[in-house]
Structure 1
């Protein structure tokens, strides 16, 4: 038997969504009678009644509800495939504005930006870095980049880069003089390089104690707001710093810093690119997401 036409399946989804033949017909640009005929033809091909019709309302039958539940994701996936094909075939232009924290911007520059701009040379990428978490919609950004835990719940998030750790580090010289902390509570007996958050508060270091969060308000007479500077300060034996692991890798590899309290620093969800779920996604952003996913 000949399978149903894709146009009829799309029409069924619109009728089911609007619960109205007239509104669905208006969206499709066809007459109500033509749409009703298409639905009867679809029911005949599937040998199942999909819609309850009255003069005032339209509702789904049990078969119609089951079809809609399985059909909608397939049609959405098909739309994504077609959009990706269109993106590959057209020349994109315009400005793509992304607000990111410093670590996210560094990762994008290392893994995504060069290839994206090479593929789409007519796109201008405006990558703004700042510590504060902004309202990307209100401030005119197409997307934002933050740790997963900081992404607002009403946003669509695209994870990238894998899990990340925040780690405590100190120089060998500092540890030989002050000793090595064995638990996070031991930090109260040490000099710590504190972090000042964008809102002005000092960041409380976050550890895990048998899968339970443990927050420590560490002491210290030096406060910084930049992870790279915090690593430099730790290397200079000014105290213990708590930074994202990528910032400390080189110093650890060169022997300039030592990772302490390692068992208390498990990986957490890493970075996400996020954007509004209430706005149509721009073609430039869709292309950037594709490049981001290809980069891992």
Structure 2
């Protein structure tokens, strides 16, 4: 049977489904509805007279025919996609769509300062930004790239630094300090209320403090635990307890006096933001342009 245009489009959908083992996640990557994706797969199987997918309410798996089809078409279609991306280098106006996964702090510190310039300069590049502090498989989840603090970038990814190292410290509202006083040493935090941090891997973060050659790690006590910076800030500003985070996030609140540094001489330096992506795939034009702009503007 001769290959048709419909087959080529449906093969791309099939590869996305095979990668995610999920119609919903594949549809999200391809920018179509789940029902449209399901209809395309049914039409492909009907045209070819072969069942390619085993569907249940909980999972999607490949049949033997589906496994053989994936093995034969995945490489060639990826090569076609790379060739299409390469053509953008010859356009007067870059275009395309990229999906990136970023933590909350990166939106505030990196993307918010540069995106107004980016969309003005590259109006035909669509950037789909997913904000999550959880550690996810960005490639397996259909993203072109991820941004994370350097220490959490997967080792099998190619990473590029986007910012210098970042200082981490404690802070509190004047109302809290007025009521409970200021600790002078990290060990004194045991006598204070702290807003604890749950990391993307569900572990409770131990607060790190450095002063000269001295390093202290504290299991912060307190009745409140959050997994997002905006939640910690809100609770800290409300006087609920001492909070911990990056100095650039706290800086505007220090300037207007709504937060005060706690043990400012005990700031810990951590790895800055990095963007990362698979070395086995062509770097999309949108990702490359975003990296260049962040490095030129240098928001941090």
**TM-score range normalised by the length of the shorter chain:** 0.5 to 0.7
CA contact (8 A) 1:228 1:247 kept: no
Shift of 1:213: 4.6
Q: What is the match of residue 147 of structure 1?
A: 149
Taking structure 1 as reference, are residues 122 and 191 closer, same or farther at Cα in structure 2, changes over 3 Å only? same
Taking structure 1 as reference, are residues 212 and 145 closer, same or farther at Cα in structure 2, changes over 3 Å only? farther
Query: Taking structure 2 as the reference length, what is the TM-score of the superposition?
Result: 0.65
Query: Taking structure 1 as the reference length, what is the TM-score of the superposition?
Result: 0.66
Pairs within 5 Å for 1:139-178 = 139-178=141-180
Pairs within 5 Å for 1:181-200 = 181-200=183-202
**Separation (CA, whole Å) in 1 of partners of 2:248 and 2:291:** 23
For residues 208-242 of structure 1, give each alpha carbon's deviation from its aligned partner in whole angstroms, at most 9, with x where no partner exists: 25446532111101112221221222222211110
Q: What is the match of residue 251 of structure 1?
A: 253
Taking structure 1 as reference, are residues 171 and 106 closer, same or farther at Cα in structure 2, changes over 3 Å only? closer
Is there any run of 5+ residues in structure 1 with no aligned partner, and where? Answer: 1-82
For residues 270-292 of structure 1, give each alpha carbon's deviation from its aligned partner in whole angstroms, at most 9, with x where no partner exists: 11111122322222322222222
Is there any run of 5+ residues in structure 2 with no aligned partner, and where? Answer: 1-84
Shift of 1:169: 0.7
Larger radius of gyration: 1
Q: What is the match of residue 94 of structure 1?
A: 96
CA contact (8 A) 2:196 2:224 kept: yes
Q: What is the match of residue 297 of structure 2?
A: 295
> Superposition RMSD on alpha carbons, in Å?
2.4
Give the 3-state SS of the residue equivalent to 1:198 in structure 2: coil
Taking structure 1 as reference, are residues 283 and 208 closer, same or farther at Cα in structure 2, changes over 3 Å only? same
**Separation (CA, whole Å) in 1 of partners of 2:170 and 2:97:** 39
**Separation (CA, whole Å) in 1 of partners of 2:217 and 2:105:** 22
How many residues get paired? 214
Q: What is the match of residue 235 of structure 1?
A: 237
